[in-house]
A and B are shown apart, each in its own frame.
Chain A
Amino acid sequence: MKLLNLCLILLTTVSSPTIFASEINSGDTAWILTSTALVLLMTLPGLALFYGGLVRTKNVLSVLMQCFAIACIVPVLWVLYGYSLSFYGEGNFFGNGDALFLTNVARDGLSVGYATSIPESLFVIFQMTFAIITPALVVGAFAERMKFPAMCLFSALWLTLVYIPACHMVWGGGLLADWGVVDLAGGLVVHATCGVAALVVAMVLGPRKGFPGPSLVPHNRPMVVMGAAFLWVGWFGFNAGSAWTAGTDAGMAMLVTHISAAVGALTWMTAEWFKTGKPTVVGIATGMVAGLATITPASGTVGPQGALLIGFLAGLVCFYATQFIKGTLKIDDSLDVFPVHGVGGIMGILLLSFLGAKGILSVGSSGDFNPITQFIIQLKGVGVIVLWTVIFTWIAIKATSLITSLRVGEEDESEGLDLIEHNETGYQN
């Protein structure tokens, strides 16, 4: 009897991992582990360096600090309630509290929903890196003038009121998922939300002292290029990781991502060359980001030819959108978050209806939807996300202003945030 018991115990301990192992795909898991690291690399150091180089000498540390702090604040909120409200439950706008504090996430648990061949723990952290970069992108709108405490509070509120519901609506089985909105890696969830939020925040805060003017040019362009290069490489994890499997979809996503980045960069550079007489390094790097943001939602459905067109339109439209926002509307969205990410993300969301459908530029496409029907679905999705983001970003920034003041004083702004907010300087003189 004793021997039999022992055998049974042995049998269970040996066999139970085998059951899970047959469900978890080690190839998929390895790829999403890698992608997670790549997406974090986009924020730290990628975006931090990209933004850090674009501001002035006296504010370089404040921008690095803001990106770093967001990369530390978001994970805590993600564990407490962010993941649960994003990915558990069937609500239209918010999920439920079944996984608060990640209580339901077990060591041997499999991921929920569409990524069924990887551990849930990995799904949690992969999604967390997306939740980190989105509020970090908004930093570009309020750079060089927002107080650090206000920045921390606003980012936490914004994650809760805008990112989490958008994530649930599109990816967590909410309203837009029910409608059939296609958004592979975050044209709406990441780029439309951060872009629209950037406009709202820039308008509430008001322009930097000296805007528009020659005193606001980037202080370290080599840093901008380094950051852009990290973004490009990291974006492979962002888009091809969003395919969830280490298979054909991931391969095609990576290919179209690279094509769009390259063509976006070339197009922006050329447009600038025509307008100003010189091709610039900040221009080619910004066009690359525009190309990447625009292909993001479409990278699961379009093929290489669609990617050429998306990259071209990204470079061209985002370039002129930048001139329009800063030059014509005179809104100091300081590092051009809306014209690059907002316009790019929304354009990608709409274009994929045509370029991702079988039959139109169909080589490599995988969407079997009707272009016109899909376009209307996508358009409705854009409407909901834009409206939601405008309203709740405004609420988040106003609520923040009731608790703590948003901007540094005029004299402190001249002195620079590095010294005023952190008692540190980026460079020794």
Chain B
Amino acid sequence: MKLISAIIKPFKLEEVRQALIEFGVEGLTISEVKGFGRQKGHTELYRGAEYTIDTLPKIKLEILADDNDAPSIVDVISKSANTEKIGDGKIFITSVDDVIRIRTGETGGDAI
């Protein structure tokens, strides 16, 4: 099993979500996060003074997937979140030891 974490631009969320649902993803976790990469932050103006704000708001998606589905899901996200501009975000893939569905106690692949 894999945990796919994707950091994307907030305005791309709806598009990515649609694409993932069409692909057949059963569930996903969305968080509002802040951070910076190559895009760095942005400038804010206050009464004639310029301030650099170090962090930008981004959306973090987390999807749990079978090893087989993981590459396709990554592909779906890469395509739908892409604007070909700096700041589009990153996707991290990590291995997951186990998953437990709280209601039934199912584990592993059955719990996805």
Name the distance in Å between B50's Cβ and chain A's nearest Cβ. 6
State which size class the interface on B falls in.
Answer: 10 to 19
Alpha-carbon separation in the docked complex, A276 to B44 (Å): 10
Residues of B within 8 A of A17 (CB): none
Residue of A214, A275, A280 with highest tally of chain B CB at under 10 A:
A214
Alpha-carbon separation in the docked complex, A275 to B48 (Å): 7
Residues of B within 8 A of A327 (CB): 49
Of A149-157, A318-326, A386-394, the stretch lying at the interface with chain B is A318-326
Q: Contact at A322–B48, with CB atoms within 8 Å?
A: yes
Known: A214-B44, A217-B44, A283-B45. A276 touches B51 (CB 8 A): no
- Residue A286 lies at the interface, judged by CB distance under 8 Å to chain B: yes
- Residue A406 lies at the interface, judged by CB distance under 8 Å to chain B: no
Q: Contact at A214–B48, with CB atoms within 8 Å?
A: no
Beta-carbon contacts under 8 Å, A274-303 to B: 275-276, 278, 280, 282-283, 286
State which size class the interface on A falls in.
Answer: 20 to 34
- Residue B86 lies at the interface, judged by CB distance under 8 Å to chain A: no
Nearest residue (CB) in A for B46 is: A217
Nearest residue (CB) in B for A54 is: B46
Alpha-carbon separation in the docked complex, A280 to B51 (Å): 14
- Residue B52 lies at the interface, judged by CB distance under 8 Å to chain A: yes
Q: Contact at A213–B51, with CB atoms within 8 Å?
A: yes
Q: Contact at A280–B45, with CB atoms within 8 Å?
A: yes
- Residue B54 lies at the interface, judged by CB distance under 8 Å to chain A: yes
Name the distance in Å between A292's Cβ and chain B's nearest Cβ. 16
Residue of B46, B50, B52, B53 with highest tally of chain A CB at under 10 A:
B46
Nearest residue (CB) in A for B43 is: A276
Alpha-carbon separation in the docked complex, A276 to B49 (Å): 8
Name the distance in Å between A275's Cβ and chain B's nearest Cβ. 6
Residues of A within 8 A of B54 (CB): 214
Q: Contact at B48–A271, with CB atoms within 8 Å?
A: yes
Contact residues of B: prevailing secondary structure:
strand
Q: How many A-B pairs fall under 8 Å by CB?
A: 41
Residues of A within 8 A of B50 (CB): 276
Q: Contact at A282–B49, with CB atoms within 8 Å?
A: no
B45's contact among A213, A216, A271, A272, by CB below 8 Å, is which?
A272
Nearest residue (CB) in A for B47 is: A322
Alpha-carbon separation in the docked complex, A354 to B51 (Å): 40
As a 0/1 sequence over residues 225 to 263 of chain A, the CB contacts with chain B under 8 angstroms (1 = contact) are 000000000000000000000000000000000000000
Q: Contact at A214–B53, with CB atoms within 8 Å?
A: yes
Residues of B within 8 A of A280 (CB): 45-46
Alpha-carbon separation in the docked complex, A286 to B48 (Å): 11
Name the distance in Å between A287's Cβ and chain B's nearest Cβ. 10
Beta-carbon contacts under 8 Å, B78-104 to A: none
Name the distance in Å between A47's Cβ and chain B's nearest Cβ. 17
Q: Contact at A326–B45, with CB atoms within 8 Å?
A: no
Q: Contact at A276–B45, with CB atoms within 8 Å?
A: yes
Name the distance in Å between B32's Cβ and chain A's nearest Cβ. 12
A278's contact among B45, B49, B53, by CB below 8 Å, is which?
B45
Residues of A within 8 A of B52 (CB): 214
- Residue A97 lies at the interface, judged by CB distance under 8 Å to chain B: no
Nearest residue (CB) in B for A276 is: B45
Could you give 7 example pairs across A and B, Cβ below 8 Å? A272-B48, A276-B50, A280-B46, A282-B45, A286-B47, A322-B47, A323-B48
Q: Which 3 A-B residue pairings sit nearest by Cβ, starting from the closest?
A: A214-B51, A280-B45, A217-B46
